[in-house]
Amino acid sequence: MQKHAILKGLRPAPQRHGWRTAFDALFYVVAAVAALAFGIYLLSYQNILFLYFPAFLQGMLVTLVVSLISTVFACLIGLLGAFGALSSFRPVRWLTVTYVEVVRGTPFLVQLLLWYYGFGLALANLGFHPDRIAFDIMTVLQNNSLVPDSFNSYFYGIMALSFHYGAYLTEVFRAGIRAVPSGQTEAALSLGLDARQTMRHIVLPQAIKLVIPPLANNFIGLVQDSSLLSAVSVLELEHITLALGAPQTDANAKLFVFIFGALFYLIICYPLSLLTRRMEAKQHH
pLDDT at 189 over 80: no
pLDDT at 5 over 80: no
What percent of the chain has a predicted confidence (pLDDT) above 70?
85
Q: Which of 218, 150, 200, 204 is nearest to 176 (CA)?
A: 204
Q: Does 196 or 10 have the greater pLDDT score?
A: 196
Q: What is the pLDDT of residue 143?
A: 57
User: For the residues 89-118, what does the mean pLDDT come to?
Assistant: 92
Q: What is the pLDDT of residue 184?
A: 79
What percent of the chain has a predicted confidence (pLDDT) above 90?
41
User: For the residues 120-127, what does the mean pLDDT come to?
Assistant: 73
pLDDT at 266 over 90: yes
Of the candidate ranges 145-154, 186-195, 205-214, the one whose mean pLDDT is the lowest: 145-154
C-alpha 206/C-alpha 184 separation (Å) is: 11
Q: Is the pTM of this model over 0.95?
A: no
- Locate the DSSP E strands across the chain: none
pLDDT at 149 over 60: no
pLDDT at 54 over 90: yes
Highest mean pLDDT among 54-58, 140-144, 182-186: 54-58
Per-residue pLDDT tens digits for 208-220 = 888 888 898 899 9
In a 10 Å sphere around its CB, with 0-12 CB exposed, 13-18 middle and 19+ buried, how is residue 116 labelled? buried
Q: Which of 272, 142, 271, 139 is nearest to 215 (CA)?
A: 272
- Distances, alpha carbon 144 to alpha carbons 47, 69, 234, in Å: 33, 18, 17
Q: What domains lie within the chain, and their CATH numbers?
A: 43-284 (1.10.3720.10)
pLDDT at 11 over 70: no
Q: What is the pLDDT of residue 76?
A: 95
C-alpha 226/C-alpha 132 separation (Å) is: 22
